[in-house]
Structure 1
Amino acid sequence: MTGIYLFDLAARHARYLAVRQAAIAGNVANANTQGYRARDVAPFAQVLARTGLDLAVTASAHVETAGTGIPVRPVPAREGWDVLETASAVSLEQEMLKASDVSRDHALNVGVVKSFHHMLMSAVRSGG
């Protein structure tokens, strides 16, 4: 059995969130660029699936994971909301919702890492 490296997983998730935020920022910056197509990254579950990590699922509500690499893909025209009548295929409302998702996920990631770090430091201080 191999160990689960929470800090490594959190670091991969943080890198994923940084790439996703950059893609969202690029979409917003190019919202008025004629012919520009909105971009997004693959969901983190797909990214994690490529890492080859196998976690045991003991209940149907548990998440199955694996993956790393963060491919950027164009957003299909029918995915998401209708596009406003502009020269581009970027919905600013949808991009802002994605940005808030990234912010929420980042806050959760930081909270988990802080809690795990605190738990490790408590174990080290108590000697075991």
Structure 2
Amino acid sequence: MFYDLNVFKTAYAMATHAGQRQAVISRNMANADTPGYKPRDIEAFQQAFENSGREVAMTATRAGHLHGSTPDQPWAEYTATASGDPNGNGVSLEQEMLKAVEVKRQHDRALAVYRSSIGILRTSLGRA
């Protein structure tokens, strides 16, 4: 009955995306004084999820089913728009801090979805 719960996969993907984006943002901040460094970013989760084609592709539920498996989510990393700094560095610490706050909110949202789903699952099993 509860073999394939996509809400947990989505919450996991959201948290993974937030973690990977936080790593990219922290790398940008670490290189804020590196001459010629161009800031990087990862595409938004919603955009990556919509472009993944999950709504039309069949998903394997076990190893021998459909001769396939569920692929990992590839997050496209790209060079972000750079501000004009005299040394050629395009990192703006203010923008990176705002992105870091946004990523924390995304991660908290993923955890809230997970907690809520666990609560619903426990309630449905009669273990409130």
Q: TM-score range by the shorter chain?
A: 0.7 to 0.9
Which structure is higher in RCO with an 8 Å CA cutoff and minimum separation 6? 2
Runs of 4+ aligned structure 1 residues displaced above 4 Å come to 82-87
Name 1:94's counterpart in structure 2.
Answer: 95
Contact 1:50–1:69 (Cα < 8 Å) also in 2: no
* Residue 29 (structure 2) pairs with residue 24 (structure 1): no
Quote the offset at 1:43 in angstroms: 1.3
Name 2:37's counterpart in structure 1.
Answer: 36
CA distance in 1, matches of 2:36, 2:43: 22
Q: Secondary structure at the match of 2:38?
A: coil
Contact 1:32–1:87 (Cα < 8 Å) also in 2: no
Contact 2:36–2:87 (Cα < 8 Å) also in 1: no
1:17-62 CA-partner distances (Å, limit 9, x unpaired): 111000000000000000000000011122112332239xxxxxxx
How many residues end up aligned between the 2 structures? 109
Q: 2:74 aligns with which of 41, 45, 69?
A: 69
Identity of aligned residues (%): 33
TM-score by length of 1: 0.76
CA distance in 2, matches of 1:92, 1:86: 15
* Structure 1 stretches lacking a partner, 5+ long: 56-67
Contact 2:17–2:75 (Cα < 8 Å) also in 1: yes
Contact 1:84–1:91 (Cα < 8 Å) also in 2: no
CA distance in 2, matches of 1:4, 1:86: 50
Quote the offset at 1:85 in angstroms: 4.7
Contact 1:13–1:109 (Cα < 8 Å) also in 2: yes
Q: Secondary structure at the match of 1:40?
A: strand
